[in-house]
């Protein structure tokens, strides 16, 4: 009796656990001649621009099927009417953010420290060089945070559904 209860719970756990692994449609962004592709599935964050209206939409993918994508807080969009996908480059975003942290934390602490110790000048030349460099790196990095991928000749957008009976 005890063994059958344990078996029942084990099978129930496995069924519930692996039910989330059911194949789902995947939005694939490919570049001709390249082997690495960009994949999006339901729940992923995406930013895009529609062809006709030129409106930009950004958010998590709620619904994705063979011809329609819906983001949170936006209407349903046909996958054929997507003109551009904007991709965030996280390295540049972190570089820009670190520059802001240095300017917002390090510089004021350095100035306060020199003022408390009665050192003159309060803003040292070395401090200006370091903070100026970080400001420059931060500003340049901010220019490269978003990458614009225009759908057309170079980039192709398609929806693949590996759970469809044709692929099984």
pLDDT score of 168: 43
Residue 167: band (very low, low, confident or very high) from pLDDT cuts 50, 70, 90: very low
* Average pLDDT value for residue range 11-23: 62
State if pTM tops 0.75: no
φ, ψ at 121 (rounded to 5°) = -75, 155
Is the pLDDT at 152 greater than 70, yes or no? yes
Percent of the chain with pLDDT over 70: 88
Please state whether beta strands 56-64 and 155-161 pair in parallel, antiparallel, or not at all (unpaired).
unpaired
Residues with Cβ < 8 Å from 115, sequence gap 6 or more?
A: 122
Q: Is 129 exposed, middle or buried (0-12, 13-18, 19+ CB in 10 A)?
A: exposed
Q: Which two tokens stand for residue 48?
A: 């895009």
pLDDT confidence band for 67 (50 / 70 / 90): confident
pLDDT digits (tens, 9 = 90+) for 19-58: 555 567 888 899 888 888 899 988 899 999 999 888 999 9
């Amino acid at each position: 009796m005890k063994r059958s209860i344990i078996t029942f719970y084990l099978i129930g756990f496995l069924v519930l656990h692996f039910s989330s692994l059911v194949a789902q449609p995947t939005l694939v962004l490919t570049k001709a001649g390249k082997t690495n592709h960009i994949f999006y599935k339901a729940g992923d964050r995406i930013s895009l621009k529609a062809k006709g209206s030129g409106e930009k939409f950004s958010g998590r993918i709620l619904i994705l099927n063979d011809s329609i994508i819906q983001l949170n807080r936006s209407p349903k969009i046909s996958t054929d009417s997507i003109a551009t996908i904007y991709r965030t480059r996280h390295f540049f975003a972190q570089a820009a953010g670190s520059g802001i942290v240095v300017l917002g934390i390090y510089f004021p602490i350095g100035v306060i420290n020199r003022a408390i110790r009665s050192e003159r000048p309060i803003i040292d030349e070395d401090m200006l060089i370091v903070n100026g460099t970080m400001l420059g790196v931060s500003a340049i990095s901010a220019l490269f945070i978003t990458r614009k991928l225009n759908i057309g000749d170079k980039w192709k957008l398609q929806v693949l559904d590996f759970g469809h009976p044709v692929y099984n």
